């Protein structure tokens, strides 16, 4: 518990560093928000006026200071494009991406765990070859191509699923599932490839251990050995990889969101960078950083459940 | 452990049933529910006509805001909020007679005071309409239904300016109430009322029950949903599957297949715009007119339109598209003349080792286009490098003048002055190449104050000839819009400014 608190507190310097880096990088980009927002039709006076209003003429330190000050008052600022509060923008766009992240991960697990275990249980056989081949496909097939193919087949040709049209889960779960099932599968399939390899190699490592040989000798069924004994011990690298995969998804789903026209968080960030909407980018990156930190903490906590020898706190001997 | 496997299988079967069971209901759509779904190629940054800068904003405005005057399908200026107008013989005083049966969406009255308010807001320095209203000296309400606008100098394009955003009338009450947040609560007098918006995803409008337009002019749809779909390929699949009814952007390279498609048709519409690239006159490379002319002579515009744009454009070498009254045959490009180009380069002493870079954006069509240009330059002994930037950076480079050649295009306006003045007049805001020709400037100044259309046309022809000689900007083609619509979408009327006007559109299987 003490360690958990320490972990949370030590996240703060990380967040500070991230925010300073993002802030600096944004200001290094050529072009200013007013030009990006007002476009090439704008008069120089309109651009100057907007830049002034957005505070672009203040020294950078002052701009950063203003932002941090607002942050401590629970205010992420307003979008430079149309003044929408950044918190509102993020709240609108985060649920879709979170849902996609979780769903894609579930799909990945459903594919990776059974195929990884089977491969490890029957190394070198046709089962292993088939599972490895599927994993190769997952790694090689670009997920945007897979997504487009699925749309063409299921939406255009068969008319079974919509080509787009995100509806939030709370509004209409059925319509939501219809819209999200294809992007979840397209993304999840690719993720499953990496996971499957991890499961397989980790299991193979574990299978050679003495305690496995003991379990077999004791007469336990293959399933009991695999799932009961080996899998649990093999999970640590898998959990680590999973954590990294999930953490990367929050900002990494831009292409999927674009193809399936999902109003997601990744797309919000990319669009904001192109529009030089500094406040939205800063607020979003902060959220991503927080998310990654939380995921890592959860992964660490999970370790202790998987392997009781691992403790969060240092024990007094 | 058996339980876990069984649970997984059960869950997946359930999921499949759920999905397949519900999917089939979507396809039966015999009754139109009154909703029209239109795709937009970008998320409108700002739904406020006073501050708007993007073409996609204008799409949404067609439903929300009425203008003082409108354009009919032939490009003629016709009444809208102004029933009629008089222009004094010296061209300085415009008197607009307004409709008096119009209310804003928030219930307040539309009247002359509202028009005065909007025009004055447009003249403020933060406004993006300032340059369009720069000639306005004074505007006042003579009575509830009459507005008088006095100009500093005669300005021929003035009525055309009022057919676009500068003429869109917002509710003064709403503007005062929301201030900068008006863009999130836009209130006009148009056939549709703003309901909701999910940034980056969609904008929803609903029929205005109190719209002044009756009969043919009354809105037919109950609801319009603008869906943001940036990639034309994705817009295409959504159009084919029925997720959208009208697409504002389709991939050009599949146009042959569209003509025979069973579920949708396309409308290939010329625009008033131009596309091409600036040559930075401040750079030594381009200081000599002969070098610039040589570059232009090397270009095969017909090939570019055929290959890079799949024929969905009109090759041109002036700022005026065929629909503009200033267009003449001169716009038709000549064939490339490599021999002449090489000779000019030799005379200018640049026939060996001439090299420059062209800056463009990440649009795939431009990607193909600049590669074709590269080959054409090589035929003349010129080495051209390609640099790609995101649009914001591209604009910044343009404004700073940090480029050799820069690709930039203009969506076009009905009046020829607005297709040329801010682009090539000395020191004007979009004149990135810093072209400075007093003779040219004088012609433009004369053309914009004259009210004689024939005289203006002659002047603009002269201007085109000067530009063709000096080549500060290489005009390549006039873009087309390629709109797609499902076969049951009716009532769409193409507009010369490329705007999709939803008021007359509806769906019917007849």
The angle subtended at Cα A17 by Cα A22 and Cα A245, nearest 5°, is: 75
Residue A161 to residue B23, Cβ atoms within 8 A? yes
With bands split at pLDDT 50, 70 and 90, how would you rate the model's confidence at B19?
low
Nearest chain B residue (CA) to A79? B45
Residue B393 to residue A165, Cβ atoms within 8 A? no
Separation CA A247–CA A75 (nearest Å): 24
User: DSSP labels for A63-83?
Assistant: HHHHHHHHHHTT---B-TTT-
- For residue B22, what pLDDT is reported? 47
Nearest Cα of chain A lies from the Cα of B145 at a distance, in angstroms, of: 31
Separation CA B266–CA B270 (nearest Å): 13
Taking 90 as the threshold, does the pLDDT of residue B345 lie above it? yes
CB-CB neighbors (< 8 A) of B1 in chain A: 223-224, 227-228
Nearest to A64 by CA among A33, A28, A17, A20: A20
The CA–CA distances, whole Å, from B503 to B65, B147, B406 equal 11, 27, 38
The CA–CA distances, whole Å, from B177 to A80, A137, B126, B180, B181 equal 20, 57, 18, 9, 9
Nearest chain A residue (CA) to B7? A110
CB-CB neighbors (< 8 A) of A266 in chain B: none
Which of the pair, B254 or B24, is modelled with greater confidence? Answer: B254
Closest in B180, B202, B230 to A83, CB measured: B180
Q: Crossing angle, helix A278-306 and helix A231-252, to 10 degrees?
A: 180
Nearest chain A residue (CA) to B24? A160
Which residue carries 């869950």 as its tokens? B11
Q: What is the mean pLDDT of residues A256-276?
A: 89
Which backbone phi and psi does B391 adopt, to 5 degrees?
-60, -40
- Whether residue A193 lies within 8 A of chain B, CB to CB, comes out as no
B466 sits in which H/E element = helix B453-470
Instruction: Tell me which of A2-6, A187-191, B227-231 is least confident.
Output: A2-6
Average pLDDT, chain A: 86
SS3 B188: coil
Instruction: Tell me which of A184-188, A299-303, B258-262 is least confident.
Output: A299-303
With bands split at pLDDT 50, 70 and 90, how would you rate the model's confidence at B240?
very high
- For residue A184, what pLDDT is reported? 94
Taking 60 as the threshold, does the pLDDT of residue B147 lie above it? yes
- For residue B17, what pLDDT is reported? 58
- Whether residue A261 lies within 8 A of chain B, CB to CB, comes out as yes
Residue B190: CA atoms inside 13 Å, Cβ hemisphere, count?
30
Sign of torsion over alpha carbons A41, A45, A50, A55: positive
> Which range among A6-20, A188-202, B6-20 has the greatest average pLDDT?
A188-202
- For residue B79, what pLDDT is reported? 95
Tokens of B99: 């409709």
Best of B124, B131, B200, B261 to substitute, by most chain A Cβ atoms within 10 angstroms, is: B200
Average pLDDT, chain B: 91
Closest in A35, A50, A165 to B396, CB measured: A35
- For residue B26, what pLDDT is reported? 44
User: DSSP labels for B428-442?
Assistant: -TT-TT----HHHHH
Q: How far is CA B187 from the centre of its chain?
A: 22
Separation CA A26–CA A142 (nearest Å): 30
Instruction: Tell me which of B1-10, B61-70, B98-107, B294-303 is least confident.
Output: B1-10
With bands split at pLDDT 50, 70 and 90, how would you rate the model's confidence at B7?
low
Q: How far is CA A99 from the centre of its chain?
A: 10
Q: What is the mean pLDDT of residues B488-507?
A: 93
Residue B393 to residue A43, Cβ atoms within 8 A? no
Best of A42, A110, A112, A148 to substitute, by most chain B Cβ atoms within 10 angstroms, is: A42
- For residue B282, what pLDDT is reported? 92
Separation CA A275–CA B437 (nearest Å): 34
Nearest Cα of chain A lies from the Cα of B343 at a distance, in angstroms, of: 36
- For residue A28, what pLDDT is reported? 85
| Spatial CB neighbours of B102, under 8 Å, sequence gap ≥ 6 | B66, B81, B109, B110, B189, B212
> DSSP code of B312?
-
With bands split at pLDDT 50, 70 and 90, how would you rate the model's confidence at B139?
very high
Q: What is the mean pLDDT of residues B361-365?
A: 91
CB-CB neighbors (< 8 A) of B6 in chain A: none
CB-CB neighbors (< 8 A) of B4 in chain A: 227
Nearest Cα of chain A lies from the Cα of B435 at a distance, in angstroms, of: 17
CB-CB neighbors (< 8 A) of B362 in chain A: none
Which residue carries 């600096």 as its tokens? A24
The angle subtended at Cα B64 by Cα B61 and Cα B68, nearest 5°, is: 75
Taking 50 as the threshold, does the pLDDT of residue A317 lie above it? no
> DSSP code of A221?
-
Contact predicate B487/B260, CB 8 Å: no
With bands split at pLDDT 50, 70 and 90, how would you rate the model's confidence at B25?
very low
B141 sits in which H/E element = strand B136-143
Taking 90 as the threshold, does the pLDDT of residue B428 lie above it? no
CB-CB neighbors (< 8 A) of A164 in chain B: 227, 229, 234, 238, 243
- What percent of chain B is predicted at pLDDT more than 90? 75
Q: What is the mean pLDDT of residues B144-168?
A: 93
Residue B199 to residue A83, Cβ atoms within 8 A? no
Residue A43 to residue B130, Cβ atoms within 8 A? yes
- For residue B68, what pLDDT is reported? 96
Nearest Cα of chain B lies from the Cα of A144 at a distance, in angstroms, of: 11
- What percent of chain B is predicted at pLDDT more than 70? 94
With bands split at pLDDT 50, 70 and 90, how would you rate the model's confidence at A4?
confident
Instruction: Tell me which of B76-80, B351-355, B463-467 is least confident.
Output: B351-355
Taking 50 as the threshold, does the pLDDT of residue B460 lie above it? yes
User: DSSP labels for B60-78?
Assistant: HHHHH--BSEEE-TTS-EE
Instruction: Tell me which of A112-116, A223-227, B197-201, B219-223 is least confident.
Output: A223-227
Taking 80 as the threshold, does the pLDDT of residue A199 lie above it? yes
């Amino acid at each position: 518990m003490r360690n958990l608190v320490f972990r949370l507190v030590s996240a703060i310097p990380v967040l500070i560093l991230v925010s300073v880096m993002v802030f600096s990088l944004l200001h290094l980009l050529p072009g200013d928000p007013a030009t990006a927002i007002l476009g090439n039709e704008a008069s120089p006076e309109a651009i100057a006026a907007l830049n002034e209003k957005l505070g672009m003429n203040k020294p950078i330190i002052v701009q950063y200071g203003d932002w941090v000050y607002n942050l401590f008052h629970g205010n992420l600022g307003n979008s430079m494009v149309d003044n929408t509060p950044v918190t509102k923008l993020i709240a609108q766009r985060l649920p879709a991406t979170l849902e996609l992240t979780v769903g894609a991960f579930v799909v990945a697990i459903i594919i990776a765990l059974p195929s990884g275990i089977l491969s490890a249980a029957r190394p070198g056989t046709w089962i292993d070859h088939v599972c490895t081949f599927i994993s190769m496909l997952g790694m090689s097939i670009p997920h945007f191509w897979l997504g487009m193919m699925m749309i063409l087949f299921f939406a255009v040709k068969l008319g079974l699923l919509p080509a787009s049209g995100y509806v939030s889960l709370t509004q209409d779960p059925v319509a939501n599932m219809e819209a999200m099932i294809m992007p979840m599968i397209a993304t999840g399939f690719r993720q499953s490839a990496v996971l499957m390899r991890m499961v397989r190699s980790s299991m193979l490592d574990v299978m050679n251990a003495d305690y496995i040989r003991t379990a077999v000798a004791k007469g336990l069924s293959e399933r009991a050995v695999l799932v009961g004994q080996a899998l649990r011990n093999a999970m640590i690298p898998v959990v680590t990889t999973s954590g990294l995969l999930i953490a990367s998804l929050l900002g990494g789903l831009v292409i999927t969101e674009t193809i399936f026209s999902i109003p997601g968080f990744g797309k919000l960030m990319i669009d904001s960078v192109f529009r030089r909407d500094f406040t939205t980018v800063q607020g979003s990156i902060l959220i991503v950083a927080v998310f990654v930190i939380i995921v890592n903490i959860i992964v660490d906590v999970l370790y202790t459940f998987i392997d009781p020898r691992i403790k969060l706190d240092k024990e007094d001997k | 452990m058996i339980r876990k496997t069984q649970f997984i299988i059960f869950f997946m079967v359930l999921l499949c049933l759920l999905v397949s069971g519900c999917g089939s209901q979507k396809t039966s759509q015999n009754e139109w529910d009154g909703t029209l779904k239109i795709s937009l190629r970008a998320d409108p940054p700002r739904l406020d006509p006073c501050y708007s800068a993007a073409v996609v904003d204008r799409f949404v405005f067609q439903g929300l805001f009425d203008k003082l005057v409108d354009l009919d399908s032939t490009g003629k200026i016709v009444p809208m909020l102004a029933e009629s107008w008089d222009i004094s013989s010296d061209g300085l005083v415009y008197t607009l007679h307004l409709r008096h049966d119009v209310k804003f969406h928030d219930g307040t009255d539309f009247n002359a005071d509202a028009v005065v308010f909007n025009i004055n807001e447009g003249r403020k320095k933060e406004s993006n309409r300032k340059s369009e209203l720069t000639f306005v000296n004074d505007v006042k309400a003579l009575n509830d239904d009459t507005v008088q606008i006095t100009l500093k100098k005669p300005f021929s394009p003035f009525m055309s300016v009022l057919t676009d955003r500068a003429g869109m009338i917002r509710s003064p009450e709403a503007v005062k109430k929301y201030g900068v947040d008006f863009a999130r609560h836009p209130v006009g007098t148009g056939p549709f009322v703003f309901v909701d918006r999910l940034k980056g995803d969609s904008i929803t409008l609903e029929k205005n029950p109190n719209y002044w337009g009756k009969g043919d002019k009354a809105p037919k749809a109950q609801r319009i949903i603008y869906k943001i779909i940036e990639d034309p390929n994705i817009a295409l699949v959504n159009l084919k599957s029925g997720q959208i009814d009208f697409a504002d952007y389709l991939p050009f390279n599949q146009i042959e297949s569209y003509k025979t498609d069973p579920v949708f048709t396309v409308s290939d519409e010329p625009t008033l715009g131009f596309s091409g690239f600036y040559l930075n006159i401040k750079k030594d490379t381009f200081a000599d007119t002969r070098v610039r002319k040589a570059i232009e002579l090397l270009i095969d515009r017909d090939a570019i339109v055929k290959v890079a744009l799949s024929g969905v454009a009109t090759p041109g070498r002036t700022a005026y598209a065929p629909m503009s009254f200033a267009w003449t045959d001169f716009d038709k490009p000549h064939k490339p003349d490599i021999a002449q180009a090489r000779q000019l380069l030799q005379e200018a002493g640049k026939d060996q080792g001439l090299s420059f870079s062209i800056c463009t954006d990440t649009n795939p069509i431009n990607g193909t286009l600049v590669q074709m240009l590269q080959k054409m330059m090589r035929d003349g002994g010129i080495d051209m490098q390609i640099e790609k930037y995101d649009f914001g950076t591209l604009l910044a480079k343009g404004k700073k003048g940090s480029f050799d050649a820069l690709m930039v295009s203009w969506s076009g306006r009905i009046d020829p002055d607005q297709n040329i003045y801010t682009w090539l007049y000395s020191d004007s805001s979009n004149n990135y190449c810093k072209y400075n020709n007093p003779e040219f400037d004088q012609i433009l100044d004369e053309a914009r104050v004259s009210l004689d259309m024939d005289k203006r046309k002659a002047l603009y022809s002269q201007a085109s000839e000067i530009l063709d000689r000096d080549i500060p900007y290489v005009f390549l083609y006039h873009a087309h819009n390629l709109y797609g619509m499902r076969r049951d979408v009716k009532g769409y009327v193409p507009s010369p400014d490329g705007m999709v006007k939803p008021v007359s559109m509806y769906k019917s299987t007849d």
